[in-house]
Amino acid sequence: MSKRVFLTGGAAGIGRATAIRLVNKGFDVIVTDVDTAGLEALAASIDPNAPGRLTIDRLDVTDAQQWSEVLARHCPDGRLDVLVNNAGVLWSGKFEEIDIAKHQRIVHINVTGTANGCHQAFAYLKNTEGSQVINLCSASALYGQPELASYSASKFAVRGLTEALNLEWRRHGIKVQALWPLFVATAMTDGMDIGSTRRLGVHLTPDDVARAVGYAIKFRWIPVRVHIAVGVPFHILSWLGAISPSWLKRTFVWAATGVG
C-alpha cells in the first residue's frame, strides 16, 4: 500500500514541487489549496504513468471545519501517513507600513492553519503506524527578522508548536519535524527587496525544499531529527545559532539585514 501524504499550499512554489516529487516517488498525495486553478494545472502536469497518485481538493487552512471535511473525504479508512503543513503567506517591509490586515493574514494562515492541520489530522495520524508531521518553518525563526516581523513571528510559533508536539506525540508514535529553508525562489520572494535578500540573496529553489521533504520522509527513523536545515548556508547558520548567545545572534542578524 502506498504511503498517503496530505499536503497544503500545493498549487504553486514549494508545495507544487513537493507534490510532483512525491507522486514520482510512488506516494498517494492529496494536494490542497484555495487556488483551484493552480491545483487543476498541477493535476494536468502529472505524468499519467507516474508510480504515485495525485488527488486535489480545495482547502482554506484557516477553517477547521473544512479540514475535518476534506480529511474525511480523502482518508475514509482513518489512516494518514504524512501531513505536510506547507501553506503560508508573506509580506515584507517596514512593520508599520504593512496594513494590519496583512499582518493578521500571516498569522491566520501560517500559525492557525498549521495548528488546525495538526489538530484535525491527529486522529488519522494516531491510527497509522509510523506517521509523521512535517511543518514548513523558516530561517526567520532563528532570530526575529527585521522587515519580516510578522512572518518571522509566525515561524517562531510554528517552531514552538513543532517542538512541543514532537515531545507530546511521541507516546502516539507520531514524529513531528520542521524544515528550515532560507529564502526560496517562489512567488513569495519574487521582487522582494529587503536588507537580508540584498545581502544573503535567494539561492534555494522549490525543488531543493521538495527534496528535503522527501529525505525527511525517507529517513524518518533517525530519532533526533526535529529541525531540518535546508541548504548548506543555513546548516552553518543553524549550527552557529545553536551555540551562540543571544547578543551574538542579534549582531549577526543586524549585519545580515543592514537594518537599524
The catalytically annotated residue of 124, 143, 151, 215 is 151
CA 259 to chain centre: 27
Torsion of CA 147, 149, 150, 153, to 10 degrees: 150
Exposure string of 35-52, with b = 16+ CB inside 10 Å and e = fewer, is beebbeebeeebeeeeeb
Which among 103, 90, 139 has a CA at the least distance from the CA of 256?
139
Distances (CA, A) of 123 to 24, 128, 164: 28, 9, 18
- Give the pairing type, strands 4-7 and 28-33: parallel
Active site residue 124: no
Residues paired with 134 in a beta bridge: 84, 177
The residues annotated with a catalytic role in the active site are 151
